[in-house]
Amino acid sequence: MRTEDKPFIHMMKTPLSNYLYDVNTNMFVGLDENTYIHLKKVEQGECGLEDSDDECIRRNMDILLEQGFLSVKHPKEIRHGHSDLIDWYLNENIRQIALQVTQQCNFRCAYCVYCAGDFELQRNHSSKRMPIETALAAVDFFIARCGNQEHPAIAFYGGEPLLEFPIIQKVVEYAEDKMYGKKLTFAITTNASLLTVDIARFFMEHNFVTTISLDGTPETHDKSRRFANDGRGSFAVIQDNLKKIMEHCPEFKFSFNIVTDPRFPCDSIHQLFSKNSLFRKARVTSTLINDQFSVEKTVPGDVFLYQHDQYMFQSYLSLLGIYDRNNVSRVAFAELISSFEQIKDSMKPSKSLPDVAAPGGPCIAGEMRLFVNTDGNLFPCERVSETSEVMNIGNLWDGFDYSKVDRLLNIAQSTAEKCKNCWAFQHCILCCTHSDNCGELSAALRLSQCNRVRAQVEETFRNYLWMREFDIPYDMMKQEV
């Protein structure tokens, strides 16, 4: 059976039920076992919808068709719906700008894409710093292009941004004066080795969202996050700084971000952020090591997977009232809630896919988190490679290169035929950075990640279905551990 003649569907099972995911309507339908088996064969091209002698199955096919499911429609053309509005978004609607105030860092983290080693696809740490004139020009550039944003944000990035705290102070003062009347927010991610009580008070006075990088216990953290000058571990310094701040400025709010190396056990990390009073007070998020620009790829170890699944399972049980919420890992619970939030926003039903559409993933480069490096060059966000010519979408003085932005937004055109026929079309997470192959946009590189993405989407779907099966309210999920 030809792909274009088959219903655009994906079949799934959970421990409690069988499901049809209908791509056109972006909806799930619960099925009995026989109907599920039949549609699974249809999905695999082994038979047609009506190729069954079972009267009940045939009747179910008719009902599903009458209700608008099982459409064979696929997009005819891959093109993002915002393609004709790029200039408007980038001239009126930029949400956040991130300033790379320095390319230097006082740490040399083992997994950092900016450290010397095999990360040749990225720059290394350098002595470059953003001149104050460039920083203020970036603020002016942002002001001229965030008119529709009631809550604009300015973030500071590095290297370690606190190495250039005087520049941060001047930018904050300038932005608050120029953007008076806006509900302006500032953000910073820091290793906290230079964080002091006075800086914490400054952050509080100027509406900062502060994220601290801390990877776990001293043993875990110091394995990767070491000082550049002498190779010492940094956990003790960070802990002492936070103790002083909590003593003199207890109202200071911050969150932690953990970079987890899945090759090693994670039990101690979960325990630290759940049991230690100093670290338990703050919100926590976690990410796996980003090996996109690394020759060596990180393969999760068996012990990590076992411990991670154990803590995630306890989080599930806590939502059912079977496991004490107070004993749940805050790291695992935050990961679970993030998954729920992601699927909640993407499961909007529709009547049908449009003829012209684009898979999920790409955003308008620069509209959400415009990144400005020390030289004043513009990039879609801080996650892309600064050495990649295809990711450089302009500069502060000449403005945006709209043709480049359009190409990045429509990156899926390079894999159009595969994308048109993929059941994960609406939930794909591949953006332009996943196609960047040493400064060239590679269709092969993009396609090489499709199986991983489909597995991730299916896992997210299972979370969504589990939530529906047990009737878990969203408000319950938002409760802090």
d(CA 291, CA 298): 7
Residue 72 near residue 23 (C-beta atoms within 8 A): no
Q: In whole angstroms, what is the distance from residue 368 CA to residue 286 CA?
A: 21
* Vertex 481: Cα angle to 323 and 299 (nearest 5): 85
Residue 416's contacts (CB-CB under 8 Å, 6 or more residues apart) are 77, 78
Confidence of residue 278 (pLDDT cuts 50, 70, 90): confident
Determine contact, residues 437/387, Cβ cutoff 8 Å. Answer: no
390-446: per-residue pLDDT in tens? 999 999 999 999 999 999 999 999 999 999 999 999 999 999 999 999 889 999 999
Instruction: Read off the pLDDT of residues 285-311 as tens digits, 9 standing for 90 and up.
Output: 888 887 666 656 678 899 999 999 999
Q: What pLDDT is attached to residue 471? A: 87
Q: Would you call 292 helix, strand, or coil by DSSP?
A: coil
What whole-number distance in Å separates Cα of residue 267 and Cα of residue 216?
A: 10
pLDDT of residue 158: 92
pLDDT tens-digit map of 248-274: 999 999 999 998 888 889 999 999 988
User: What pLDDT sits at residue 162?
Assistant: 98
28-54: pLDDT as tens digits: 999 999 999 999 999 999 999 999 999
Average pLDDT rounded to a whole number, residues 82-105? 96
Are the beta carbons of 136 and 174 closer than 8 angstroms? yes
Residue 114 has pLDDT above 80, yes or no: no
Judge whether 175 and 141 are in contact, CB under 8 Å: no
**For residue 20, is it left (φ>0), alpha (ψ between -120 and 50) or beta?**
beta
Q: What percent of the chain has pLDDT over 90?
A: 76
For residue 188, the SS3 value is: strand
Query: Can you give the pLDDT at residue 119?
Result: 47
Q: Which two tokens stand for residue 408?
A: 């990045």
Residue 168: the pLDDT is: 98
Q: What is the pLDDT of residues 129-168, one digit of tens each?
A: 999 999 999 999 999 999 999 999 999 999 999 999 999 9
- Please tell me the least confidently modeled range out of 43-52, 69-78, 105-114: 105-114
> Which tokens in the block code for residue 240?
């002492």
